[in-house]
Chains A and B, each alone.
Chain A
Amino acid sequence: MSDKCVTPLPIPAHAGIGLRAEHYHEVIDTLPATAWLEVHSENYFGAGGAPLVYLEKARQHYPISLHGVGLSLGSSDELNLRHLQKLKALIERIEPGLVSEHLSWSSVDGRYLNDLLPLPYTEEALLHFTQRVQQAQEFLGRELLIENPSTYLQYTHSTIPEWEFLTEVANRCGCGILFDVNNLHVNATNHRFDALAYLHALPARKIREIHLAGFTVNRYTDGEILIDTHNARVADEVWALYRQAIEKFGAIPSLIEWDADLPPLPVLLDEARKADEILENAHAVIA
């Protein structure tokens, strides 16, 4: 096949969109004006077939970021080398600009729950998570980005604020941070803390990528909770937080993430355009 990748392309400090199967044809046929694309790594862990064909075609025209959801870095199990090997093979095939995973766990005793589950923020978990990230980075021979997760519970024995935990991981491992602004908003609302204080405590030099997405409010008779459903436009509060983030961190590659109830491609591009407008201001300030 003639679908060989060109040289690795860095992810530019502009807006990108998540590439999902429903949009493969349209993206490849129309090559929309988006600076880069992100996909979920595990969707391309198959040995062959259509998903990889489409991803390689997209890769011919766009820088690609690989976003993992299944490595389970926070698990107390041994690191899953089979999973890591598949990720490594995909990295070699696609030559992504960025590779990211989550500050979470999803398996124990070899059983996978396939969800991004919350870690207790303790010294033990910090040491453990740091070792796992280091091990994964050594295996892959490259920097990983770690994303702050959305969480729906807090442990009573957590002693370290999440921002501090994440910063420590980044400092100790030399990994980057994928800052999900929507997750911060969801968590700050659900757990009643100050999102801006969290944002300003993050180390600017470690932020390599930003995620933007929509959430859902679940209302019950005894209260409500925000759920990170990735099924809607970015909320106004999240845009406001994003402006603050760009002001503090400068222009950072920013992704419009949409997974459920996927809209027509122009809606994603419109959201990306909004992010680009905010990023343009940052570029202008720097210039």
Chain B
Amino acid sequence: MPSLRELQRAFSAGVFNELPAELAQHIRAGRFPGPQHFQIYRNNVCESLTNALKAVYPVVERLVGDGFFRYAADTFMRTHPLSSGNLHDFGDGFAEFLESFPPSQELVYLPDVARLEWAWHRSYHAADRAPLALKALAAIAPAQYADLKFMLHPSVQLVTSDYPVLRIWEVNQSAYAGDQSIDLGLGGVKLLVIRRQQVQIESLNEADYALLSACAAGATLAQAAEAALRIQSDYNLILALHRHASSGVFSDFSC
């Protein structure tokens, strides 16, 4: 008789690989032979993990179709064990998986589309936080300005791609009814994903992206400003910070 631990390990192995003989002999034949009873669990685990992945990556699914998505999901779930009892955590790393998944190598933009969808998903479940009120800056002594850091709102995700992934994303929304064709020659994008009431995706220019990604990486405001000015020497920092703060991109500052 297997211990509880032995049984559970054999069960897990049987779901993701082959049903081990030592487990098979402990499954009672009922309406069907034991292995067929076990098959119900194999199907259910596979199906529910696939559906969870589809729910996070609907655009990837539309791009590749149901059959291919299932094949990718099937491989992904075997190689990327979920370490949480919350299915909303499943799907982390799918973009990187697609990057090295041989059958999708020709769809060069696919990993970035997945990255955008994961960013959307994380933004949707991110913490609530009031946007930064800029007038609080009045309380800071000028001597502290050098250490000042702006923190991005918890729902903000930054995505960069060499491909027009926002256009790809928009065209593959179920409500989209316009021109379906996409020209990869449109080039790359820098994107801001943010949840105001709903999750929104916006294009950023290179300098804005440099500024915000520096803030995201923990840079001081001075360093972030320098990063933006390196991209665009006439970057209007005051207007840019005001615009981002007014649209809820920052939630806190520290110094």
Contact = CB atoms under 8 A, between A and B. Distances in A.
A111 B82 contact: yes
Contacts of A82: 84
B28 A153 contact: yes
Interface residues of B, number: 47
B37 interface: yes
Contact of A223 (B8, B31, B41, B44): B31
Nearest to B8: A108
Given A114-B48, A154-B30, A48 B9 contact: no
B154 A152 contact: no
Interface string B1-42: 111110111011001000000000111101110100110110
Contact of B49 (A108, A110, A114, A154): A114
A48 B154 contact: yes
Most chain-A Cβ atoms within 10 A of its Cβ — which of B38, B48, B86?
A: B86
| Residue of A43, A50, A71, A152 with highest tally of chain B CB at under 10 A | A152
Q: Which of A50, A52, A109, A153: most chain B Cβ within 10 A? A: A153
A111 B155 CA distance: 28
B83 A108 contact: no
A154 B28 contact: yes
Contacts of B139: none
Contacts of A191: 30
Given A75-B8, A108-B8, A47 B127 contact: yes
A153 B124 contact: no
A269 interface: no
A124 B2 CA distance: 11
A46 B85 contact: no
B83 A111 contact: yes
A60 interface: no
A80 B41 CA distance: 23
Interface string A213-254: 000000010111101000000000000000000000000000
Contacts of A42: 85-88
A190 interface: yes
B182 interface: no
A183 interface: no
Contacts of A109: 9, 12
Given A109-B12, A111-B12, A120 B4 contact: yes
Contacts of B41: 115, 117, 152-153
Contact of A70 (B86, B127, B155): B86
A139 interface: no
Contacts of B48: 114-115
B83 A225 contact: no
Nearest to A42: B86
A157 B30 CA distance: 14
Interface in B160-196: 195
Nearest to A260: B51
Nearest to A155: B26
A156 B30 contact: no
B155 to A, nearest CB: 8
A83 B84 contact: yes
Nearest to B198: A50
Nearest to B83: A110
A83 B31 contact: no
Nearest to B6: A76
Nearest to A125: B4
A106 interface: yes
A28 B247 CA distance: 28
A23 to B, nearest CB: 17
A122 B86 CA distance: 28
A112 interface: yes
Contact of B85 (A76, A114, A122, A156): A114
Which 4 A-B residue pairs are closest in the complex by CB-CB distance? A70-B85, A46-B125, A48-B128, A47-B127
13 contacts: A106-B85, A110-B83, A111-B81, A113-B15, A114-B45, A115-B41, A153-B27, A153-B41, A154-B27, A155-B26, A156-B25, A156-B28, A225-B32
Given A48-B125, A80-B85, A155-B28, 14 more contacts: A46-B88, A47-B125, A110-B81, A110-B83, A114-B45, A115-B48, A117-B41, A122-B1, A122-B4, A152-B40, A153-B34, A154-B37, A190-B31, A225-B32
Interface of B: 1-5, 7-9, 11-12, 15, 25-28, 30-32, 34, 37-38, 40-41, 44-45, 48-49, 52, 81-88, 90, 124-129, 154-155, 195, 198
